[in-house]
Structure 1
């Protein structure tokens, strides 16, 4: 595929999933915001505006990683890396649906844990194809570990 097509596929996948997650999640709904604001959260939970900055940077790196994987030489390792990358990206949409729409904190924690595992597997397989693509996924992996710690505390306290 051409560079532009690969870039559109990678960025479209990441940002399309984020858009879909936003559409299926009532996070902007007043009742949902009020519910979330009243949850007992740990002191290390970042302020709301920080999430927008963090997610934008992480999504950009994830899209760039996907682009690099798409540009790599076709192989079984590349197919596996792209499959895990796509599974990881798609999994991100599940969290807001279950936490904000369904208000299922336990399911949200299970999704967090599965995302950490999927992200780790994605990094490991991407490393066999393109070390830079794998490295671009590491910040998201670190964020997921931190986010899982936050969500575990929210689940435990509420």
Structure 2
């Protein structure tokens, strides 16, 4: 594929999933917002606006990583790296659906743990294909570990 097609495919996948997650999650619904605001959260939970900044950066890095993987030499490892990358991106949509629409905090925690494992596998596999693509996924992994700590505390307290 051409560079432009690869760039559109990678960015479209990441930002398309974020858009879909937003559409299937009633996070902006007043009753959902009220429910979430009433939850007992840990002191290290970032303020709401920080999430927008963090996810914009993470999404950009994930899209760039996906682009680099798409541009890499094709092989079995390349296929696995792309599959794992795509599963990480898709998994992001599951969290808001189960936490905000279904209000299932335990399922949200399970999704976080699964994403950590998937992200680790994605980084390891991508490293064999393109070291820079793998390194661009590390901030996502670090965020997932931190976010899982937050989610575990919210689940435990509520």
How far is the alpha carbon of 1:94 from its aligned partner? 0.2
Matches within 5 A, 1:8-27: 8-27=8-27
Q: Give the Cα–Cα distance (whole angstroms) in 2 for the partners of residues 116 and 76 of structure 1.
A: 23
**Equivalent residue runs for 1:98-109 within 5 Å:** 98-109=98-109
5+ long unaligned stretches in structure 2: none
What CA distance in whole angstroms lies between the structure 2 residues aligned with 1:32 and 1:140?
Answer: 26
> TM-score, normalised to structure 1's length?
1.00
Structure 1 runs of 4+ aligned residues shifted over 6 Å read none
Residue in 2 that maps onto 1:112: 112
Describe the SS at the equivalent of 1:93: helix
- Shift in Å at residue 3 of structure 1? 0.2
SS of the residue corresponding to residue 107 of structure 2 reads helix
Q: TM-score, normalised by structure 2?
A: 1.00
The 2-side partners of 1:36 and 1:24 are apart by 16
Residue segments in structure 1 that go unaligned for 5+ positions in a row: none
Deviations 1:62-107 (A, max 9, x none): 0000000000011111000000000110010000000000000000
